[in-house]
Structure 1
Amino acid sequence: MTIWTGQGPAIVLSGYETIRNALVKRAEDFSSRKLPPTMADIRGDETTKNAAKGVLHAAYGPHWKHQRKFALMTLRDFGFGKRSLEGKVNEEGNALVQEILSHNGQPFDLKIMMQNAVSNIICSIVFGGRFEYGDPEFRRLIHLLNAVVETKPSFMDRLGNILPVFRYLRFRGNSIQEKGTKMLVTLQEFCREQIEKHRQTFDPNDIRDFIDAFLLEQQRAPEEKARENFTDKELQEVLIDLFLAGTETTATTTRWALLYMMLNPDIQEKVHQEIDSVLGQSAPSYAQRNQLPYTAATLAEVQRIKAIVPLSVPHAASRDTTLNGYNIPQEATIFINLWSVHMDPQLFPDPNTFQPERFLDQDGNFVKHEAVIPFGIGHRVCLGEQLAKMELFMLFVSLMQRFTFHLPEGAPEPSMVGTYGRTINVPVPFELCAVARG
């Protein structure tokens, strides 16, 4: 269907076959991005007519391909998809367990702890080391990420996107500059500070992390190429992409998983039994997911029933094209309705029921379903998909090894509808009790 967002049309694609046809079979036509005017002013570059920098929001083309390839190669160098990263994930899992144990089974909100653990894994790759959870700089980072992700667009945001001339009013005074936008600008400043700290201690013979690898490319690349692909602005926006895409999504998915465990104690008990029989108290490894099919099925069902980004990150048409007989103009915004896929009763009977067994065969083996696409599909599939899968599995197993989760006594059952910020579908605030197991 077509909806109008201000001055331009936006096309909503629903259903697995239509989405797959657009993003996989017709990827060259439907893999671009289009930032709204108010966001382009902040994340764009005045030298390129506000074209977005980074990877997440950059337009489809040679520049984006170069940045994504560099980011993937560098992230792999620092552990993506390798067992070396498992040690960092387990380190954060242990730190998270100790934080939870300090509550002695009393009610608490897990949200910030979960974000700390997931964000610290990215920090170890990007900044070369983890933070202590009480570190003021780290707490500032988590606060900024929360504000950017969860704050809904303001009236001025919406007005500026409908009539772009109004976006120039945003910076005349803080009273009309929306909170989330201010926090994004502050997050950019945080990243610039980290880049400058690295530059002051940079040693080309000792590449410590992602930032150092980028700075090395700045030095190595021919001057013209460096100006085009390896600017500080580019690095700043890539860092923001990694944190925005990699922190809140995994942390929120884990919180949804624990919420479903509390509301389905029989399923929680099956997960406990499987983990106990296979791992005992041994540290989990991502390679062991095949030995824990019910646990893997439970996480797949969480990702199906609670799409964290139900409309994905909006795409845009790379050129004038057609889809299913309809004309799609160049630069039209394309919303990918993942919710329509995950909740399709033809694909997933009784879709509103939490049922891990739908991902198990008759022998109890885990069976992947091609229509569960929480990370998207096609050229713009999530850059950190492999890291997110590893984190989600290993952190969830670590928590389930050590704790039984239940609602505080007398507490009402939390709403399972969730709330929607800029892009993320998060649970309404809730407290839980974590009782240490044996």
Structure 2
Amino acid sequence: MAGAVQWVFPFSGLTLQTFIVFCATFLLACVVFKRSRNLPPYPAGRVPILGHLLALGREPPLKLTAWRRQYGDVFTVRMGMEDVVVLNGYTAVKDALVDRSELFASKAPMYQVDVMLGFGKDIFSARWSPEFRQRKRFASAALKNLGMKVGRGSIEDSIREEANCLRSRIAENDGQPFDIAHDVMVAVANIICFMAFGKRYDYKDESFRELSQAINTVSSELATGQIISFFPWLRFVPVVNRSIVNVLKENSKVQKVLREEISRHREHLDRENPRDFIDFCLLEVDQQDKVDGLTEENVMYITKDLFFAGIETTTNTLLWSLLYMILNPDVQNKVQQELDAVVGASLPALSHRPQLPYVNACLMETMRIRTLLQL
């Protein structure tokens, strides 16, 4: 081999080791500087390895807005080693996500999310495929059977009952300042838990406090460790991989609770009268009628989707709404006046929604200006 190299490059006296280093450097350069075909233009500021990460600065939305003015509604941003096409404006977004939705339906790989959710064994992180569509249809049908709908058989009564428990919990503080975040999370989680595995937690329950802390930690670490999604090999680098280490540690606590619940449901499964989401899933695992190859591991990951997607988003919406009410007392007074006029002393119901335009507008504005998930 060494003789062959010397024969090919006789003028340089190239050694085998130097030749290997040269080839490795050349291949790395090809990967780093490779530009995919048919992509929209790149903004200025792209550097090797990091792409546009430095150019985005501390306020990426502002930089993206500035680039839109310069490069138009569609342009490409290099995020580490990945190209990301940025869409702006109604026309571009509708063309991609509505008119040609099948082409853009799958999810891009995100290492931390993928490892937490079994690399596509759930619904949220799964790539677009027949299996994904089967799981999604099945989960939607099961949740509707459990009351996630408007009209007869709705879970609305359970939500109102939980809201009343939260109101009583707040009243226990007798007007003194306290941190409401945990109580709001318990109220939201109790609705999810009731649908997922047929139980609710007391607001002082220590086991649930540990579970909620694990969920919070996973969510926050996913946000702070986004660099690993762009450079997955960094998970092997000490200190830098702190976020993924914490995600795996806390994620195992959540999975332990879910696996215990699945085992408990398996022992007491009533095939004629499924009680909750896990029961419906276990029946499908046994029957294989609607979802090909569904396993108990899939059930665990799909149920975890309900926890992280349902608890985090709803809790964050409520907490941001409360904060904005505090910071804007004039808005708070208008919301209270509308509730007093329409609902009175009772609890709001879905039937009141058309009569509460200002309350609805405040909730929509909260979701517009604040990110509900930290991903």
- Taking structure 1 as the reference length, the TM-score comes to 0.63
Structure 1 position 20 matched with structure 2 position 94 = yes
Q: CA–CA distance in 1 between the matches of 2:359 and 2:233?
A: 52
The 2-side partners of 1:280 and 1:211 are apart by 38
Partner of 1:212: 279
- 3-state DSSP class of the match of 1:2? strand
Paired with 2:192 and 2:248, the residues of 1 have a C-alpha distance of 23
Report Cα offsets for 1:289-345 as digits up to 9, x if no partner: 111122122222222222424xxxxxxxxxxxxxxxxxxxxxxxxxxxxxxxxxxxx
SS at match of 1:212: helix
Structure 1 position 287 matched with structure 2 position 357: no
Quickly say closer, same or farther: Cα 1:255–1:154, change in 2 above 3 A: closer
- How far does residue 20 in structure 1 lie from its aligned partner after superposition? 2.4
Hey, what's the Cα distance between the residues in 1 that align with 2:133 and 2:113? 22
Q: Alpha carbons of 1:104 and 1:28: their partners in 2 closer, same or farther (altered >3 Å)?
A: same
Whether 1:141 and 2:211 are equivalent positions in the alignment is yes
Where does residue 340 of structure 1 map in the other structure?
A: none
* C-alpha spacing 1:88/1:260, structure 2 compared with 1 (3 Å): same
Q: Which has the larger radius of gyration?
A: 2
Letter in 1 for 2:250: M
Q: CA deviation at 1:136?
A: 2.9
2:78 is paired with a residue of what secondary structure? strand
* Aligned-residue RMSD, C-alpha: 2.5
Query: Could you say if the C-alpha distance between residues 162 and 89 of structure 1 is closer, same or farther in structure 2, counting changes exceeding 3 Å?
Result: closer
2:330 corresponds to 1:266: yes
The 3 A distance-change label for structure 1 pair 41 and 280 is: closer
Deviation at 1:42, TM superposition (A): 4.1
Q: Which residue of 2 aligns with 1:113?
A: 183
Equivalences for 1:307-326 in 2 at 5 Å? 307-309=371-373
Q: Which runs of no fewer than 5 residues in structure 1 stay unpaired? A: 45-49, 310-421, 424-438
Question: Would you say 1:183 and 2:183 are equivalent positions?
Answer: no
Q: Distance in 2 between matches of 1:177 and 1:68?
A: 27
CA contact (8 A) 2:112 2:244 kept: no
Write the distance in 2 (CA, Å) between the matches of 1:175 and 1:294: 44
The structure 1 residue matched to 2:144, chosen from 47, 68, 76, is 76
The more displaced of 242-251 and 275-284 is 275-284
State the AA in 1 paired with 2:274: I
State the distance in 2 between where 1:200 and 1:175 align.
38
| Contact 1:67-1:229 at 8 Å conserved across structures | no
The one-letter code sitting in structure 1 at the alignment partner of 2:253 is: T
1:36 aligned residue: 110
Structure 2 residue 314 is matched with structure 1 residue 250: yes
1:305 lines up with 2:369 in the alignment: yes
Shift of 1:13: 2.3
Contact in 2 for aligned 1:76/1:82 (Cα 8 Å): no
Quote the residue 1:329 is aligned against: none
Say which SS state the counterpart of residue 83 (structure 2) adopts: strand
- Partners of 2:195 and 2:113 lie apart in 1 by 27
Conserved 8 A contact 2:116-2:247: no
On the 8 A contact 1:274/1:294 being kept in 2, the answer is yes
CA contact (8 A) 2:321 2:366 kept: yes
Q: Which has the higher strand share?
A: 1
Find the counterpart in structure 1 of residue 166 from structure 2. Answer: 96
Instruction: Quote the sequence identity (%).
Output: 36
Is the contact between residue 154 and residue 178 of structure 1 (CA under 8 Å) also seen in structure 2?
A: no
The structure where helix makes up a greater share of residues is 2
Question: SS state of the match for residue 155, structure 2?
Answer: helix
SS at match of 1:4: strand
> Is contact 1:144-1:184 (8 Å) kept?
yes
Amino acid across the alignment from 1:303: M
- C-alpha separation between the residues in 2 aligned to 1:237 and 1:100? 33
**Match of 1:151, SS?**
helix
